Structure 1
Amino acid sequence: MQNYIIKEIQKLKCKFDTLNPFDIIEDLKINLWFRYGLGNLKGFYYLTHHQRYIVINADLNERDQLMVAAHELGHDRFHQHLARVSPLKDFMLYDMTSRTEYQANLFASELLIADEEVKECISQDMDYFGLCSTVGFNPQLVTFKLYGMMQRGYKINLPETPNSTFLNK
């Protein structure tokens, strides 16, 4: 699945000349809504009457909205068949127990964080939190990126195990 995710991201980049999930969502003509009052719900993806929708919690900060957009875009690319049955709701993004959430997390991490950025930080002997600060993303998303790079053969030591409840707090 990891290679399939990378190929899908490469196709999107070639087709739309961007890796910004908001731009890709717009170019794919997916309806994007920001809604207040969703509580702990970060966002969700659903499909109805051949229309695709991504709903993002408007109470989140911009960086978290970007991560949720990338995550929900992953659901669009790989899980449309599941969204026909019921919306894919994300109370916590970093779930390692659900295959669909795991795939959406890997997609988001690969879309938002370039291998080159990570390799540059590692070559400078930067610690894990320095890496997270440099790439500008939540440590859990960075952990998914590192895990994905390990699966592709990079020699990386994971500083922590992805925590499924990190953003649920």
Structure 2
Amino acid sequence: MNDYIIERSTRLVKKYATRDPFEIASNMNIDVLFMDLGNLKGFYKRDGHNRFIVINEGISEPLQKIVCAHELGHDQLHRHLSKSQTLQEFAIYDMKSKPEYEANVFAAELLLSESDILDSFEQGFTFYETVKLLHTDPQLLAIRLMTMKHTKRHYEIPLNIQSDFLKKD
């Protein structure tokens, strides 16, 4: 299944020549809205032919980008689930739920270029220095490292992926 997810995200990056999930959503006619959602990070909703990503306006810009990419993953992989329910995110890094796991992999693939990651490590940056350099989140980089197949080098991931990581602000 990971190969399918990787192919879907790679296709979007190539088609729209960007890794910016906001630009991709706009090009795909998906409305991205910002609202006060309390503890909710964001959600994906489909109403007929209209598709929406709603993001909590109170979270940081880097986190908004991750949430947008994650919800874009739901659009691409789980649109059928949104017919009967809104896909809500309280904890994005929920690795126990198959749809959440898949949306996490999609977001990591969409946002983080393998070449950027490899360049960082080849320059001697540590895992956490790479997180800062790429303006991402440790959990997202860990997910991306787990899906990188094209490298023979093993990278130590200095953390366990936490299902409730994004609950913490």
Paired with 1:154 and 1:99, the residues of 2 have a C-alpha distance of 28
Please say if residues 67 and 108 of structure 1, whose CA atoms lie closer than 8 Å, have aligned partners that are also in contact.
yes
Paired with 2:131 and 2:14, the residues of 1 have a C-alpha distance of 27
Q: What pairs with 1:1-169 in structure 2 (closer than 5 Å)? A: 1-36=1-36, 38-149=37-148, 155-169=154-168
Tell me which moved more, 72-81 or 1-10.
1-10
Please say if residues 53 and 68 of structure 2, whose CA atoms lie closer than 8 Å, have aligned partners that are also in contact.
yes
Call closer, same or farther: CA 1:152–1:163 in 2, change over 3 Å: farther
Q: What SS does the aligned partner of 2:124 have?
A: coil
> TM-score of the superposition, structure 1-length normalised?
0.92
Q: Which amino acid aligns with 2:19?
A: L
Please say if residues 150 and 156 of structure 1, whose CA atoms lie closer than 8 Å, have aligned partners that are also in contact.
no
Call closer, same or farther: CA 1:17–1:124 in 2, change over 3 Å: closer
Identity of aligned residues (%): 39
Q: What SS does the aligned partner of 1:162 have?
A: coil
Paired with 1:45 and 1:142, the residues of 2 have a C-alpha distance of 23
Q: Which amino acid aligns with 2:82?
A: A
Please say if residues 44 and 86 of structure 2, whose CA atoms lie closer than 8 Å, have aligned partners that are also in contact.
yes
Paired with 1:102 and 1:50, the residues of 2 have a C-alpha distance of 25
Please say if residues 45 and 82 of structure 2, whose CA atoms lie closer than 8 Å, have aligned partners that are also in contact.
yes
Deviation at 1:48, TM superposition (A): 1.5
4+ long deviations beyond 4 Å: 150-154
> TM-score of the superposition, structure 2-length normalised?
0.92
Say what the alpha-carbon RMSD is for the aligned residues. 1.6
- Structure 2 runs not aligned, ≥5 long: none
- Structure 1 runs not aligned, ≥5 long: none
Please say if residues 42 and 56 of structure 1, whose CA atoms lie closer than 8 Å, have aligned partners that are also in contact.
yes
Deviation at 1:18, TM superposition (A): 1.7
Paired with 1:152 and 1:119, the residues of 2 have a C-alpha distance of 9
